[in-house]
Amino acid sequence: MNFPDKYKSVFQLDGLFSVKSLIDTQTVNVLRELTDQLMLGERSLEGMFFQLDPNSPEYGAVNFDVTTFSGPSLNYRKIKDLEFIPEFLRAIQHSEIKDISRELIGENVSSMRMMVVNKPSKSQTPLPWHQDISQKWPMSKPPVLTIWIALDEVDQENGCVEWIKGSHKLGEIDGGHLTSDSALSSILQNHQIHYGILEPGDAVVFDNGVIHRSQPNHSGRRRRGLTICLMHGDTMNTKFKTGYPIIFGTNALSPEKVSELTRVPEFRAADYGE
Protein backbone atom coordinates (compact mmCIF):
# COMPACT_ATOMS: atom_id res chain seq x y z
CA MET A 1 0.00 0.00 0.00
CA ASN A 2 1.69 3.18 -1.11
CA PHE A 3 -0.10 5.70 1.10
CA PRO A 4 -2.79 7.32 -1.13
CA ASP A 5 -2.90 11.11 -1.18
CA LYS A 6 -6.67 10.93 -0.62
CA TYR A 7 -6.12 9.38 2.81
CA LYS A 8 -3.90 12.22 3.96
CA SER A 9 -6.28 14.94 2.78
CA VAL A 10 -9.30 13.22 4.34
CA PHE A 11 -7.35 12.65 7.56
CA GLN A 12 -6.52 16.34 7.76
CA LEU A 13 -10.10 17.39 6.99
CA ASP A 14 -12.19 14.86 8.90
CA GLY A 15 -9.63 13.45 11.31
CA LEU A 16 -10.27 9.90 10.11
CA PHE A 17 -10.39 7.60 7.12
CA SER A 18 -11.52 4.01 6.52
CA VAL A 19 -9.49 1.17 5.02
CA LYS A 20 -11.12 -1.97 3.62
CA SER A 21 -9.51 -5.30 4.53
CA LEU A 22 -6.53 -3.82 6.36
CA ILE A 23 -5.84 -7.28 7.74
CA ASP A 24 -6.79 -10.50 5.95
CA THR A 25 -9.39 -13.09 6.93
CA GLN A 26 -6.84 -15.66 8.09
CA THR A 27 -5.22 -13.16 10.45
CA VAL A 28 -8.63 -12.04 11.77
CA ASN A 29 -9.50 -15.65 12.58
CA VAL A 30 -6.18 -16.18 14.39
CA LEU A 31 -6.67 -13.01 16.48
CA ARG A 32 -10.27 -13.87 17.35
CA GLU A 33 -9.26 -17.31 18.58
CA LEU A 34 -6.32 -15.88 20.52
CA THR A 35 -8.54 -13.20 22.10
CA ASP A 36 -10.83 -15.89 23.45
CA GLN A 37 -7.88 -17.96 24.69
CA LEU A 38 -6.63 -14.94 26.66
CA MET A 39 -10.08 -14.28 28.11
CA LEU A 40 -10.49 -17.92 29.14
CA GLY A 41 -7.00 -18.19 30.63
CA GLU A 42 -5.88 -20.74 28.04
CA ARG A 43 -3.06 -18.41 26.99
CA SER A 44 -1.43 -15.97 29.36
CA LEU A 45 1.31 -13.43 29.87
CA GLU A 46 1.87 -12.41 33.47
CA GLY A 47 1.11 -8.78 34.21
CA MET A 48 -1.31 -8.19 31.32
CA PHE A 49 -4.11 -5.67 31.76
CA PHE A 50 -7.65 -7.09 31.90
CA GLN A 51 -10.84 -5.13 32.63
CA LEU A 52 -14.28 -6.72 32.96
CA ASP A 53 -17.43 -5.31 31.39
CA PRO A 54 -19.93 -4.46 34.18
CA ASN A 55 -22.97 -4.87 31.88
CA SER A 56 -24.39 -1.64 33.28
CA PRO A 57 -26.01 1.35 31.55
CA GLU A 58 -23.79 3.54 33.77
CA TYR A 59 -20.22 4.00 32.53
CA GLY A 60 -19.23 4.76 36.12
CA ALA A 61 -19.89 1.12 36.98
CA VAL A 62 -16.66 0.11 35.23
CA ASN A 63 -14.16 -0.95 37.89
CA PHE A 64 -10.97 0.89 36.94
CA ASP A 65 -9.12 -0.45 40.00
CA VAL A 66 -9.15 -4.13 39.00
CA THR A 67 -6.83 -4.54 36.02
CA THR A 68 -5.72 -8.15 36.30
CA PHE A 69 -7.12 -11.48 35.13
CA SER A 70 -10.17 -12.31 37.24
CA GLY A 71 -10.88 -15.80 35.97
CA PRO A 72 -12.20 -17.28 32.72
CA SER A 73 -14.83 -15.08 31.07
CA LEU A 74 -15.73 -13.83 27.59
CA ASN A 75 -16.95 -10.61 29.21
CA TYR A 76 -13.65 -8.75 29.48
CA ARG A 77 -14.12 -5.21 28.22
CA LYS A 78 -10.44 -4.58 27.50
CA ILE A 79 -7.25 -6.57 27.23
CA LYS A 80 -4.08 -4.51 26.87
CA ASP A 81 -0.33 -5.15 26.46
CA LEU A 82 -0.90 -6.99 23.18
CA GLU A 83 2.39 -5.57 21.81
CA PHE A 84 4.00 -8.40 23.78
CA ILE A 85 1.94 -11.18 22.16
CA PRO A 86 3.71 -12.22 18.92
CA GLU A 87 0.59 -12.87 16.83
CA PHE A 88 -0.86 -9.44 17.62
CA LEU A 89 2.46 -7.67 17.09
CA ARG A 90 2.95 -9.40 13.73
CA ALA A 91 -0.53 -8.36 12.62
CA ILE A 92 0.18 -4.70 13.41
CA GLN A 93 3.67 -4.60 11.91
CA HIS A 94 2.70 -5.46 8.36
CA SER A 95 3.51 -3.15 5.47
CA GLU A 96 0.19 -1.29 5.11
CA ILE A 97 0.16 -0.15 8.73
CA LYS A 98 3.83 0.75 8.46
CA ASP A 99 3.02 2.92 5.42
CA ILE A 100 0.23 4.70 7.32
CA SER A 101 2.37 5.34 10.39
CA ARG A 102 5.38 6.49 8.35
CA GLU A 103 3.29 9.00 6.42
CA LEU A 104 1.40 10.41 9.43
CA ILE A 105 4.04 10.05 12.19
CA GLY A 106 7.50 9.19 10.87
CA GLU A 107 10.02 6.35 10.71
CA ASN A 108 10.21 5.75 14.48
CA VAL A 109 6.82 4.92 15.99
CA SER A 110 5.83 3.77 19.48
CA SER A 111 2.60 2.44 20.96
CA MET A 112 0.78 4.01 23.89
CA ARG A 113 -1.42 0.94 24.03
CA MET A 114 -2.46 -1.99 21.92
CA MET A 115 -5.63 -3.66 23.08
CA VAL A 116 -8.77 -5.61 22.30
CA VAL A 117 -11.93 -3.64 23.02
CA ASN A 118 -14.87 -5.96 23.49
CA LYS A 119 -18.62 -5.44 23.78
CA PRO A 120 -20.09 -8.76 24.89
CA SER A 121 -23.43 -9.89 23.57
CA LYS A 122 -26.31 -7.87 25.08
CA SER A 123 -23.91 -5.66 27.07
CA GLN A 124 -25.60 -2.51 28.37
CA THR A 125 -22.28 -0.70 28.91
CA PRO A 126 -21.74 2.50 26.90
CA LEU A 127 -18.50 4.35 26.25
CA PRO A 128 -19.28 8.09 26.48
CA TRP A 129 -18.08 10.80 24.13
CA HIS A 130 -14.35 11.41 24.66
CA GLN A 131 -11.01 12.19 23.05
CA ASP A 132 -7.97 9.94 23.39
CA ILE A 133 -5.88 12.85 24.67
CA SER A 134 -5.76 14.62 28.02
CA GLN A 135 -3.77 17.40 29.67
CA LYS A 136 -3.61 15.14 32.73
CA TRP A 137 -1.67 12.35 31.02
CA PRO A 138 2.05 12.63 31.92
CA MET A 139 3.43 12.33 28.40
CA SER A 140 6.12 14.38 26.69
CA LYS A 141 4.06 14.40 23.48
CA PRO A 142 0.38 13.62 22.89
CA PRO A 143 -0.52 10.43 21.03
CA VAL A 144 -1.06 10.96 17.30
CA LEU A 145 -3.48 8.41 15.90
CA THR A 146 -5.34 5.20 16.62
CA ILE A 147 -6.09 2.34 14.24
CA TRP A 148 -9.38 0.56 15.09
CA ILE A 149 -9.64 -2.84 13.35
CA ALA A 150 -12.85 -4.89 13.38
CA LEU A 151 -12.47 -8.53 14.44
CA ASP A 152 -16.23 -9.10 14.13
CA GLU A 153 -18.91 -7.64 11.92
CA VAL A 154 -19.65 -4.21 13.45
CA ASP A 155 -22.82 -2.17 13.07
CA GLN A 156 -25.01 0.18 15.09
CA GLU A 157 -26.92 -2.67 16.71
CA ASN A 158 -23.83 -4.18 18.35
CA GLY A 159 -22.23 -0.90 19.38
CA CYS A 160 -20.06 0.44 16.57
CA VAL A 161 -17.78 3.36 17.33
CA GLU A 162 -19.19 6.78 16.35
CA TRP A 163 -16.74 9.58 15.48
CA ILE A 164 -17.53 13.31 15.21
CA LYS A 165 -15.88 14.26 11.93
CA GLY A 166 -13.57 17.25 12.08
CA SER A 167 -13.67 17.55 15.87
CA HIS A 168 -9.89 17.11 16.08
CA LYS A 169 -9.59 20.71 14.89
CA LEU A 170 -11.24 21.94 18.11
CA GLY A 171 -8.27 21.05 20.33
CA GLU A 172 -8.58 19.46 23.75
CA ILE A 173 -12.19 19.94 24.81
CA ASP A 174 -12.61 20.31 28.59
CA GLY A 175 -8.91 19.52 28.99
CA GLY A 176 -9.19 16.37 26.92
CA HIS A 177 -10.61 12.85 27.39
CA LEU A 178 -14.26 12.85 28.59
CA THR A 179 -16.32 15.52 26.82
CA SER A 180 -19.03 17.42 28.71
CA ASP A 181 -22.65 17.58 27.56
CA SER A 182 -22.44 21.37 27.45
CA ALA A 183 -19.55 21.27 24.98
CA LEU A 184 -21.18 18.54 22.90
CA SER A 185 -24.43 20.39 22.26
CA SER A 186 -22.85 22.95 19.94
CA ILE A 187 -20.29 20.53 18.47
CA LEU A 188 -22.98 18.08 17.35
CA GLN A 189 -24.93 20.89 15.70
CA ASN A 190 -21.98 21.73 13.46
CA HIS A 191 -20.35 18.37 12.74
CA GLN A 192 -21.42 15.08 11.19
CA ILE A 193 -21.11 11.68 12.84
CA HIS A 194 -19.25 8.86 11.12
CA TYR A 195 -20.58 5.41 12.10
CA GLY A 196 -17.93 2.70 12.07
CA ILE A 197 -19.90 0.03 10.24
CA LEU A 198 -17.21 -2.50 9.37
CA GLU A 199 -16.60 -6.02 8.13
CA PRO A 200 -13.97 -8.15 9.89
CA GLY A 201 -10.53 -6.87 8.90
CA ASP A 202 -11.76 -3.37 7.98
CA ALA A 203 -10.30 -0.44 9.89
CA VAL A 204 -10.75 3.20 10.77
CA VAL A 205 -7.63 5.34 11.28
CA PHE A 206 -8.37 8.40 13.38
CA ASP A 207 -6.65 11.39 14.95
CA ASN A 208 -6.62 11.02 18.74
CA GLY A 209 -8.29 14.41 19.03
CA VAL A 210 -11.46 13.23 17.28
CA ILE A 211 -14.36 12.93 19.73
CA HIS A 212 -15.89 9.45 19.66
CA ARG A 213 -18.07 7.05 21.61
CA SER A 214 -19.80 3.67 21.40
CA GLN A 215 -23.30 2.71 22.46
CA PRO A 216 -24.39 -0.51 24.24
CA ASN A 217 -24.48 -3.78 22.32
CA HIS A 218 -28.18 -4.51 21.82
CA SER A 219 -27.54 -7.56 19.66
CA GLY A 220 -26.90 -11.19 20.47
CA ARG A 221 -23.54 -10.88 18.72
CA ARG A 222 -20.12 -10.02 20.09
CA ARG A 223 -18.24 -6.90 19.00
CA ARG A 224 -14.49 -7.28 19.26
CA GLY A 225 -12.06 -4.71 17.89
CA LEU A 226 -8.26 -4.50 17.90
CA THR A 227 -6.89 -1.01 18.44
CA ILE A 228 -3.42 0.44 18.58
CA CYS A 229 -2.62 4.01 19.59
CA LEU A 230 0.55 5.19 17.83
CA MET A 231 2.93 8.04 18.70
CA HIS A 232 6.32 9.49 17.88
CA GLY A 233 8.99 6.99 18.86
CA ASP A 234 10.72 9.37 21.28
CA THR A 235 7.59 10.00 23.39
CA MET A 236 8.34 9.62 27.10
CA ASN A 237 6.16 8.95 30.10
CA THR A 238 7.18 11.87 32.31
CA LYS A 239 5.91 10.20 35.51
CA PHE A 240 7.82 6.94 35.14
CA LYS A 241 10.72 8.43 33.12
CA THR A 242 10.48 5.71 30.51
CA GLY A 243 9.50 5.30 26.89
CA TYR A 244 6.84 3.22 25.20
CA PRO A 245 7.11 0.03 23.12
CA ILE A 246 8.66 0.78 19.72
CA ILE A 247 6.59 -0.69 16.87
CA PHE A 248 8.48 0.66 13.84
CA GLY A 249 12.01 1.98 13.50
CA THR A 250 15.16 1.73 15.62
CA ASN A 251 14.95 -0.88 18.41
CA ALA A 252 11.45 -1.96 17.37
CA LEU A 253 9.93 -5.00 19.05
CA SER A 254 9.91 -8.19 17.01
CA PRO A 255 7.54 -11.16 17.20
CA GLU A 256 10.55 -13.41 17.74
CA LYS A 257 11.74 -11.44 20.77
CA VAL A 258 8.35 -11.05 22.45
CA SER A 259 7.64 -14.77 21.97
CA GLU A 260 10.32 -15.40 24.60
CA LEU A 261 8.50 -13.34 27.24
CA THR A 262 6.62 -14.88 30.16
CA ARG A 263 5.44 -11.55 31.61
CA VAL A 264 4.87 -7.99 30.48
CA PRO A 265 8.23 -6.14 30.66
CA GLU A 266 8.77 -3.99 33.72
CA PHE A 267 9.91 -1.07 31.56
CA ARG A 268 6.43 -0.78 30.02
CA ALA A 269 4.99 2.63 30.86
CA ALA A 270 1.40 2.60 32.10
CA ASP A 271 -0.95 4.35 29.73
CA TYR A 272 -3.65 6.75 30.74
CA GLY A 273 -7.27 7.03 29.69
CA GLU A 274 -9.73 4.22 30.21
Helix and strand numbers (H, E) in the chain are 6, 15
Sign of the Cα torsion 26, 226, 261, 43 reads negative
Residue-averaged pLDDT of the chain:
95
Q: In which band, very low, low, confident or very high, does the pLDDT at 204 lie, cut at 50, 70 and 90?
A: very high
For the stretch 152-173, what's the b/e string if a residue is b when 16 or more beta carbons lie within 10 angstroms of its beta carbon? bbbbeebbbbbbbbbbbebeeb
Provide the pLDDT for residue 6: 80
Greater confidence (136 vs 117) lies with 117
Q: 202 — alpha (psi -120 to 50), left (phi > 0) or beta? A: beta
90 has a pLDDT exceeding 50: yes
Q: In which band, very low, low, confident or very high, does the pLDDT at 107 lie, cut at 50, 70 and 90?
A: very high
Q: In which band, very low, low, confident or very high, does the pLDDT at 195 lie, cut at 50, 70 and 90?
A: very high
pTM, to two decimals: 0.96
Residue 13 has a CB neighbour count (10 Å cut-off) of: 13
184 has a pLDDT exceeding 60: yes
Cα 77 from Cα 149, distance rounded (Å): 16
267 has a pLDDT exceeding 90: no
Contact 62, 130 (CB under 8 A): no
Which distant-in-sequence residues (6+ apart) come within 8 Å of 195 by Cβ? 156, 160, 162
Q: In which band, very low, low, confident or very high, does the pLDDT at 274 lie, cut at 50, 70 and 90?
A: very low
46 has a pLDDT exceeding 90: yes
Give the residues across from 127 on adjacent strands. 214
201 has a pLDDT exceeding 60: yes
Q: Mean of the pLDDT values across residues 230-241? A: 93
Which distant-in-sequence residues (6+ apart) come within 8 Å of 5 by Cβ? none
Q: Mean of the pLDDT values across residues 172-180? A: 92
